[in-house]
Structure 1
Amino acid sequence: MKRSNRLVVLTEYFLENPRKHIQLPYFVELCDTTKSSISEDLDIIHEVFQTKGLGYLERTTGAGGGVKYIATSSAESSREFISTLQKKLEDPARILPGGYLYMSDILGDPSMVREIGRVFASCFAHLEIDAIVTVATKGIPLAYATASFLNVPVVIARRDPKVTEGSSVSINYVSGSSRKIQTMVLPKRSLPDGSNVCIIDDFMKAGGTITGIKSLLEEFSATVQAVGVLAEADDEEDERVITDYTSLLKISPVDIQNHHVSVLPGNYQME
């Protein structure tokens, strides 16, 4: 196989299989070439990935040596993307009755959601994560996007048990914003005991839902390695019940009278 063809084949493999460790003999057989040629190809791909801000190839040596692709977003690309999100969300047309902000179109845009997942995956690339956990419903697309770059499964906590998911563990928790008692359920088969997990959600006000997920995960002896939220409320009246999290955006209370909303970058830049 010619080098130009090999580069296409190898690049496609890495993009479709992030964080999957593979030994070089697999590529030697796949491309019908030599180990030294594959090694040179990997150098080229690694350099291009880094130049384009798409991540890098992590290589290991020795008997079990191989390579895996770590998908990341460059700091510049992340800032540009977050700036684009800010401008979209600051549109006064998004303000809904009651002071809410319309965000469903962003959560339904595959390209937007995928880039959000890439930014989260970049923030958590250095962590050992076995699964992404979210709560139904709006956090689901973000969880799957992040999981696609980390190459791990998605686990969804729901408000009500589903008969098709078998026996479940449920907890009652107090919502941080409304102070109402709510229920959260997670099937016993959905998460192996002792897993390292990352929690992803679309919006956080006081953090009650995240706290509820953490309490539920304790029943599975899971370790929460990271928490990522697309947007957090920038409201001094709400006492935050969690402090260790990564947010991409910070939304101030909507000024209904002046039809204005202020959106700032979240704390992701501090990571």
Structure 2
Amino acid sequence: MTLTIVSLLPSLQNTNGDAENAAVLAARARWAGLDVRVVPVEAPEDLPERVDAVVLGSGSDSSLERSRQVLLGLHDDLRRWGTEGVPILAVGTGWELLGWGIELPDGGSIEGLGILAGRAVPRDGRVAGDLVVAASGGLGLLVGFENHARDYVGAEASPLGRVRAGSGNGRGSGQEGVRMGDVIGTHLHGPVLAKNPQLADAMLVRACERAGLEYAPGERAHEVDRYAAAARAQQLRAAGVAASAT
């Protein structure tokens, strides 16, 4: 049995290296002794027959329309995956495109796919810096870097977690991201799965459950996670957040 991880639009949606979250999943699966492949999908015809996990990174605003057109051709697949429990991680504009839509500063808008609740709206100035989130579902503290010029509203009932440092969804919500079942949208760059192996493992556990497989982090993962933990600790100190904060 080979796990298939789909990387959606890596040529358009890879700002901050977010498409490499797929490589993180694949590496951890291999370290666990599993067969795995990463399939880049740039068009609907690239889609493999089986999909066990999906990663959609962030892109520039100049690529929004092109990315949206391709994603529209995958709308039914994305909705089915979300319903069937396929773990999906969408970051930045990839997440925004899966929402209700994106409002632009000139008054125009880009319609989203409606897979996730919420809408991206312009904010006064870009926010960039450390982002620390106390995530729900036993994921603990998630760390990363946020860099966005839009807030996200309408997802207050289903956030990924509470902001401990940074802006997150903004508008005074104190929340970050959105989580609907096994579909996650977030502002966390990093790539987020490299900095937060607990989130990567949660996705792999779910993917393996659906495939009838068992997942347990391998020895190599434990070694690499020590580096991730050191980097996380340094970022938490810089952000003024105690490692025990939840």
TM-score higher than 0.5: no
User: TM-score when scaled to structure 2?
Assistant: 0.30
Structure with larger Rg? 1
Larger relative contact order (Cα-Cα within 8 Å, sequence gap ≥ 6) = 2
User: TM-score when scaled to structure 1?
Assistant: 0.28
User: Which one has a larger percent helix, Structure 1 or Structure 2?
Assistant: 1
